Amino acid sequence: MAPGNFTRVTEFILTGVSDRPELQIPLFLVFLVIYGLTVSGNLGIITLTSVDSRLQTPMYFFLRHLAIINLGNSTVIAPKMMINFLVKKKTTSYYECATQLGGFLVFIVSEIIMLAVMAYDRYVAICNPLLYMVVISRKICLLLVSLTYLYGFSTAVVVSSCVFSVSYCSSNVINHFYCDNVPLLALSCSDTYLPETVVFMSAATNLFSSMITVLVSYFNIVLSILRIHSSEGRKKAFSTCGSHMMAVTVFYGTLLFMYLQPKTNHSLDTDKMASVFYTLVIPMLNPLIYSLRNKDVKDALKKFMANPGSSCKPM
């Protein structure tokens, strides 16, 4: 393309989940319900783990921050997505797109790391219960959470800077419902080798290091559970671990599918469906999977509903 024919992109058009007009209102209602459940579920977990004295342990401290991350991730994506269901011009400015990508990366990377932290917490609690409050002390909890957010922010700055360092000209239609790395780089009119490499290496490093931590932790947890003499105790422990592993498997599976497949195999329409799971569905399900099936949380909810004014100093 001759230099005079370049038209620098100042805004992008998001195609959304579907471009069929008759599906816009039904899809809006579906995702409104999903987002509403996500907000209420995660705010509920944040509130209960902040005010109930029985939920001031490291496990619930990490659950609180997972809920914050899930709420943030959905809020970065869902409101703009739902607005686009109701308007004809589904545009987003260049800088709004960059901000959305950065926000998404902060929360998705933080969630990847937080899942590994939570798996390690359960490993210490089950396999080394006598050392639990020493190894997972208040200071260690604060340090782990702080490093999680710091690493998520640092990764977001590096990756989003690389993605928006390339030129976008002429074509500005993003085949997605939010600004994401893969569909954005597909629009670039310059060499994308460096940003694609950065995205791939970042995704691979974060996913595999987190997955290894989770798998090793749960492998040792399962071995410890098998040593439990009570069949009822084993059944309860396996049930809890099974729920956690189900959520982790769906989350990691969709991310691996999105970011680690070869470029030639990418189908952006298929990627959109996978993205719905880890940006909207999983944040909605996590409060149920991790917390609301828990007796302590149910008791805390009943107590809170009976006496909403009660509170205590959070961890």
Q: What is the pLDDT of residues 107-145, one digit of tens each?
A: 999 999 999 999 999 899 888 888 888 999 999 999 999
pTM: 0.89
Residue 228 has pLDDT above 60, yes or no: yes
Residue 211 has pLDDT above 50, yes or no: yes
Q: Give the residue ranges of DSSP H helices in the chain.
A: 24-51, 58-86, 94-127, 132-135, 138-163, 181-185, 193-226, 231-259, 268-276, 282-286, 295-306
Q: DSSP string spanning 4-55?
A: GG--B-SEEEE--S---GGGHHHHHHHHHHHHHHHHHHHHHHHHHHHH-GGG
pLDDT, tens digit, 9 for 90 and up, residues 29-42: 999 999 999 999 99
Question: What is the distance between the terminal CA atoms of the chain, rounded to a whole angstrom?
Answer: 59
Query: How would you classify residue 2: left for phi > 0, otherwise alpha for psi between -120 and 50, otherwise beta?
Result: beta
- Which pLDDT score is estimated for 3? 47
- Which pLDDT score is estimated for 146? 97
Lowest mean pLDDT among 132-136, 150-154, 170-174: 170-174
- Which pLDDT score is estimated for 126? 83
Q: Give the residues across from 92 on adjacent strands.
A: 12
- Gap between the Cα atoms of 258 and 255, Å rounded: 5
